[in-house]
């Protein structure tokens, strides 16, 4: 069997982009969204990881054959041609399901019977025995999708649908499927909030699906770890040793991850619902880690210990389709909004509802919405920021009588002229150097407080947070004018101009999640290929100001054992490996970035045991590591706080002991490159006794960042006398 196979993963409608992003980070290749799900290629390990780790997939299917179907005979003959004996034993039980229609075959039940007949008839002819049918709990599930011009037969590697995690025996009156709940949590960026220690509350938790899925995400628990079986277990191509290895890895990650959960709470006014939720939490292995109790929505308040902190309130209230009339539910939504405004200032909130009109009763203005489907029912996910200036226009806030304020006449043209000027100079320089990703504009004109980065045919626009006192409406008008000019000057369609707002970090992570689209682009730099994501994260995965630093690492790496601490997406590791490093070790606490780094290595043809990727707390790991390295790159975040870390990290406060701890791993004659993007950073040279330090910031700030020379500080560190 080929090492690269084709697969298709199904998912709820409206979730394909989330699933595609998951699959990319699991090692999937040629990932393509469609109306029914996501197709991809990859190794069997990628498919197994999808079954075990995908939070949004419904099923993972292995295509066996595609053929034209115009009538029932075509269907029977096409199915009979498949070498079923290569995939299952005649002692196995089977079930066949069908969807779609093709030609005169329009009844899915009849179509599934024809496929079943073809399978058993072939087995009688080839083996003299036939598999039995078990529609409830078969060993092998076969899936037929009828379509024009080609219909396809699949082997279902999942078995039971993947939303059946194995913890929910007790269901509430109108439960969400677990993978839809997970998709909602991803849409509201819960993993990033959890990594910063945010609180989580579901005030109408029902059978506990949101709190359990939130705990699984925050605790790095594979959603399939509790399932007793998968469809591939009885498949002849199953690799049990590979599957065992992945299960062992998942259990280890779960053990480590659950030790650092944030506060996760669920409330419900219904005693029976609370009992069901507690039973499900126990089955999920989350006793004493997720707290659920009976509480009316009118008593909702932030928990003790939440003062001065932030969190997420996520709720799926009834919306009148099945559980009550709309008129009866208006007070419920109004009470929810009142409690949010009264008790959760500065928090985020999200409401998943099939009746967005009821959301207006909350008295809050949604800052963002997503369309999702609960079965066939179109629903809306409403995002809120609990702030006084975001009250909804329901009579609770009087609209301003002031006229709109726009950009002053000529300002937009002034910005466009500066873009053209920069494009002539920096564009020429980049072309001569073979650089396709560079900063074109960086707040050159004070009125347009933006950074514009070009990524090989895309414009990545970051609006810096406006200083206090700047009229918000005028700033918004200027931004709109700037975006229009960027598209015109660079000749880019609107969907290739991506906008983000970069706020000053106040005790947050360096690498925050922005939104969820899952679009990864391949870009070239220094003859190497890197994956960037312009939509989902505040940073794209490739720091453009570190371009010369990466080249320096490539030059220094020949024959060295290279260590990349706080390795992010591994771009420096790729340079080191391509530069001839004997071994590379990349250490980062984030699963997302370790997987991203693995993909960056793979697309450059770099792999093998000599290139280690370690997901762990860097500070803890440094205290245990005994190997020595010839080249170390240390580029920590300016500030980081995570439940999985031993304490927090403030680079100004902690840089000296961090550098000394890393320098302990240098071989004689070894070199460390230390960099930080804290603008007001001051190196405590006096505390670095025994080390020779040279400031190389000027050498490592590229031409396209010369207008912002404090974009980073960079130092070359060696032992004295070396």
Question: Percent of the chain, pLDDT > 70?
Answer: 89
* Average pLDDT estimate for 413-434: 91
SS3 content of the chain, % helix, strand, coil (to 5): 35, 25, 40
Residue 386 and residue 421 share a domain: no
- Give the 3-state secondary structure of residue 6: strand
The confidence score (pLDDT) of residue 500 equals 77
Q: What is the spatial distance between Cα 235 and Cα 240, in angstroms, rounded to a whole number? A: 11
Token couple for 475: 């700033």
Q: Is 126 left (phi over 0), alpha (psi -120 to 50) or beta?
A: alpha
With H, G, I as helix, E, B as strand and everything else as coil, classify residue 565.
strand
Please report the beta strands in 651-699, taking only residues with DSSP state E, as ranges in sequence order.
666-676, 691-695
Asked if residue 579 is part of any domain, the answer here is yes
Band (pLDDT 50/70/90 cuts) for residue 171 is: low
Strand 583-588 with 140-146, pairing: unpaired
Domain count, the chain: 4
- CA 339 to CA 356: how far, in whole Å? 19
pLDDT band at 507 (very low <50, low <70, confident <90, very high): very low
In a domain? residue 241? no
Give the other-Cβ count within 10 Å of 465's Cβ.
Answer: 12
Decide if 522 contacts 531 (C-beta within 8 A).
Answer: yes
Q: Are residues 561 and 688 in the same domain?
A: yes
User: Nearest Cα to 314, choosing from 277, 339, 365, 351?
Assistant: 351
Does one domain contain both 136 and 54? yes
Considering the domain architecture, whether residues 221 and 344 belong to the same structural domain is answered as yes
Q: What is the CATH number of the domain that holds 655?
A: 3.40.50.150
Statement to judge: residues 493 and 524 lie in one domain: no
Residue 101 three-state SS? coil
Q: Give the separation between CA 368 and CA 515, rounded to whole angstroms.
A: 11
472-490 and 411-433 helices, crossing angle to 10°: 50
The pLDDT, as a whole number, for residue 572 is 98
Whether 134 is covered by a domain: the verdict is yes
Do residues 188 and 283 share a domain? Answer: yes
Q: What pLDDT band is residue 644 in, cutting at 50, 70 and 90? A: very low
Which of 304-313, 383-392, 559-568, 689-698 is most confident?
Answer: 559-568
Better-scored residue on pLDDT, 648 or 261: 261
Establish how many alpha carbons lie within 13 A of residue 119's alpha carbon, considering only the half-sphere containing its beta carbon. 31
Are 596 and 708 in the same domain? yes
For 273, the enclosing helix (H) or strand (E) is helix 271-283
CB burial string 43-81: b at 16+ within 10 A, e below = bbbbbbbbbbbbbbbbbbbbbbeebebeebebbbebbbe
Instruction: Categorize the per-residue pLDDT at 360 as very low, low, confident or very high, splitting at 50, 70 and 90.
Output: confident
Q: How far apart are CA 215 and CA 263, in angstroms?
A: 9
Least Cα distance to 61 among 117, 145, 170 occurs for: 145
Q: What are phi and psi of 382, to 5 degrees?
A: -100, 125
| Sign of the dihedral defined by the CA atoms of residues 70, 71, 74, 75, in that order | positive
Closest Cα to residue 671, out of 635, 714, 611, 722? 722
Name the token pair of 127: 């083996």
Is residue 254 domain-shared with residue 350, that is, in the same domain?
yes
Residues 461 and 563 in one domain: no
pLDDT mean over 93-122? 94
Q: Is residue 512 part of a domain?
A: no
Q: Is residue 235 part of a domain?
A: no
Q: Is residue 168 part of a domain?
A: no
Distance, CA of 401 to CA of 215 (rounded, Å)? 46
Residues 369 and 478 in one domain: no
What is the total residue count of the chain?
722
pLDDT level of residue 502 (50, 70, 90 thresholds): low
Last residue of some domain: 467, 502, 537? 502
> Given strand 264-268, what is the order of strands in its sheet?
291-294, 264-268, 199-202, 311-315, 348-353, 377-385, 368-374
Rounded to the nearest integer, the mean pLDDT of the chain is 88
| Chain segment 217-272, per-residue pLDDT in tens | 999 999 999 999 999 999 999 999 999 999 999 999 999 899 889 999 999 999 99
Nearest 5°: CA angle at 21, between 20 and 24?
85
Supply the range of the domain harboring residue 276: 178-226+250-390
Cα distance between residue 680 and residue 696, in whole Å = 16
Under 8 Å between Cβ of 60 and 9 = yes
Q: Partners of 151 in the beta sheet? A: 67
Do 637 and 561 fall within a single domain?
yes
Most confidently modeled range among 100-104, 304-308, 336-340, 571-575 = 571-575
State whether residue 53 is helix, strand or coil: helix
Task: Tell me what the mean pLDDT of segment 85-103 comes to.
Answer: 94
**Radius of gyration in angstroms for the set of CA atoms belonging to the chain, rounded to a whole number:** 28
Q: 3-state class of 414 per DSSP?
A: helix
CA distances to 113, 121, 122, 152, 683 from 131, rounded to whole Å, are 14, 10, 10, 21, 72
Residue 668, exposed/middle/buried by CB under 10 A (0-12, 13-18, 19+)? Answer: exposed
Cα 238-179-43 angle, rounded to 5 deg: 30
The CATH code of the domain that includes 446 is 3.30.750.80
**Residue 167 within any structural domain of the chain:** no
Q: Is the pLDDT of residue 390 over 70?
A: no
60-85 pLDDT, tens digit each = 999 999 999 999 999 999 999 999 99
142 with 206, same domain?
no
Query: Nearest to residue 206, comparing CAs of 244, 236, 178?
Result: 178
**Tokens, residue 128:** 């003299």
Q: pTM for this structure?
A: 0.58
Question: What CATH number does residue 137 fall under?
Answer: 3.30.2130.30
Please count the helices (runs of H) and the strands (runs of E) in the chain: 19, 30
Q: How far out from the chain centre does Cα 359 lie?
A: 27
662 pLDDT band, cuts 50/70/90, is very high
Q: Can you tell me the distance from the alpha carbon of 188 to that of 173, in angstroms, rounded to the nearest whole number?
A: 24
Query: How far is residue 369's CA from residue 222's CA, in Å, rounded to a whole number?
Result: 28
Q: Which residues contact 84 (CB under 8 A, 6 or more apart)?
A: 119, 122, 123
- HSE at residue 550, side-chain half, CA atoms within 13 A, is 22
Residue that wins the pLDDT comparison between 394 and 429: 429
Q: What percent of the chain lies above the pLDDT cut of 90?
A: 71
**Measured distance CA(19)–CA(223) in Å, rounded:** 14
Question: Long-range contacts made by residues 652-655, C-beta under 8 angstroms, separation at least 24?
Answer: 652/678, 652/680, 652/681, 652/682, 655/681, 655/683, 655/684
Alpha-carbon span 562 to 496, nearest angstrom: 36
* Structural tokens at position 518: 């899952």
Print the SS3 string covering 352-408. Answer: EECCHHHHHHHCECCCEEEEEEECCEEEEEEEEECCHHHECCCCCCCCCCCCCCCCC
Instruction: Give the 3-state secondary structure of 567-624.
Output: CCCCHHHHHHHHCCCCEEEEEECCHHHHHHHHHHHHHCCCCCCCEEEEECCHHHHHHH
SS3 string, 626-640, reads: CCCEEEEEECCCCEE
pLDDT of residue 643: 44
The answer to whether position 87 is within a domain reads: yes
**Site of tokens 């301003």:** 400
């Amino acid at each position: 069997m080929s090492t690269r196979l084709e697969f298709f993963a199904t998912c709820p409608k409206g979730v394909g982009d989330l699933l595609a992003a998951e699959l990319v980070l699991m090692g999937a290749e040629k990932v393509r969204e469609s109306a029914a799900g996501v197709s991809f290629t990859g190794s069997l390990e990628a498919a197994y990881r999808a079954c075990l780790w995908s939070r949004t997939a419904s099923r993972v299917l292995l295509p066996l054959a595609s053929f034209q179907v115009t009538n029932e005979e075509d269907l029977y003959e096409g199915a009979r041609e498949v070498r079923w004996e290569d995939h299952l034993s005649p002692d196995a039980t089977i079930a066949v399901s069908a969807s779609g229609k093709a030609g005169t075959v329009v009844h899915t039940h009849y179509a599934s019977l024809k496929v079943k007949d073809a399978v058993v008839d072939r087995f009688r002819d080839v083996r003299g025995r036939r598999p039995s049918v078990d529609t409830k709990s078969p060993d092998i599930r076969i899936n037929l999708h009828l379509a024009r011009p080609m219909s396809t037969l699949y082997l279902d590697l999942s078995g039971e649908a993947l939303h059946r995690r194995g913890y929910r025996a007790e269901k509430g009156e109108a439960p969400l499927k677990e993978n839809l709940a997970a998709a909602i949590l991803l849409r509201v960026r819960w993993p990033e909030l959890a990594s910063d220690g945010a609180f989580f509350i579901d005030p109408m938790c029902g059978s506990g699906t949101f709190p359990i899925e939130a705990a699984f995400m925050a605790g790095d628990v594979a959603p399939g770890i509790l399932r007793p079986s998968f469809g591939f277990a009885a498949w002849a191509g199953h690799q049990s040793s590979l599957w065992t290895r992945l299960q062992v890895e998942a259990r280890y990650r779960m053990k480590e991850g659950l030790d650092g959960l944030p506060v996760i709470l669920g409330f419900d006014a219904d005693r029976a619902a609370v009992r069901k939720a507690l039973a499900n939490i126990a089955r999920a292995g989350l006793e004493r880690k997720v707290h659920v109790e009976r509480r009316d929505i009118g008593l909702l308040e932030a928990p003790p210990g939440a003062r001065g902190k932030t969190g997420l309130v996520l709720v799926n209230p009834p919306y009148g389709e099945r559980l009550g009339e709309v008129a009866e539910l208006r007070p419920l939504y109004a009470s929810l909004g009142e409690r949010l405004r009264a008790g959760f200032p500065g928090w985020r909130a999200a409401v998943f509802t099939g009746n967005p009109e009821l959301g207006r009763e909350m008295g809050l203005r949604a800052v963002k919405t997503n369309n999702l489907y609960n079965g066939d029912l179109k629903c809306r996910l409403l995002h809120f920021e609990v702030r006084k200036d975001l009250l909804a226009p329901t009579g609770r806030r009087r609209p301003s009588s002031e006229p709109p304020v726009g950009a002053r006449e000529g300002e937009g043209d002034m910005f466009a002229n500066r873009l053209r000027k920069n494009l002539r100079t920096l564009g020429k320089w980049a072309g001569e150097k073979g650089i396709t990703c560079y900063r074109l504009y960086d707040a050159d004109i004070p009125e347009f407080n933006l950074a514009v980065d070009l990524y090989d045919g895309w414009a990545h626009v970051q609006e810096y947070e406006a200083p206090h006192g700047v009229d918000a409406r005028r700033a918004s008008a200027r931004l709109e004018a700037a975006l229009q000019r960027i598209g015109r000057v660079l000749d880019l369609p609107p969907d290739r101009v991506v906008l983000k707002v970069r706020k000053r970090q106040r005790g947050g992570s360096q690498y925050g999640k922005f939104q969820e689209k899952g679009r990864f682009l391949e870009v070239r730099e220094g003859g190497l290929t890197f994956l960037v994501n312009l939509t989902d994260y505040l940073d794209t995965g490739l720091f453009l100001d570190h371009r010369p630093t990466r080249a320096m690492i490539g030059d220094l790496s020949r024959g060295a054992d290279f260590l990349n601490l706080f390795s992010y997406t591994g771009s420096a590791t790729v340079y080191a490996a391509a530069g001839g490093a004997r071994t590379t070790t990349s250490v980062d606490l984030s699963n997302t970035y370790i997987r991203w780094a693995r993909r960056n290595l793979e697309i450059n043809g770099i792999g093998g045991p000599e290139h280690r990727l370690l997901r762990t707390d860097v500070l803890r790991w440094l205290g245990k590591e005994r190997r020595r390295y010839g080249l170390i790159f240390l580029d920590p975040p300016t500030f980081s706080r995570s439940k999985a870390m031993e304490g927090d990290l403030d680079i100004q406060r902690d840089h000296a002991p961090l550098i000394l701890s890393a320098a302990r791993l240098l071989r004689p004659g070894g070199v460390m490159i230390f960099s930080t993007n804290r603008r007001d950073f001051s190196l405590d040279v006096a505390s670095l006794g025994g080390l020779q330090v040279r400031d190389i910031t000027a050498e490592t700030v590229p031409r396209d960042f010369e207008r912002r020379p404090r974009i980073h500080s960079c130092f070359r560190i060696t032992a004295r006398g070396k």
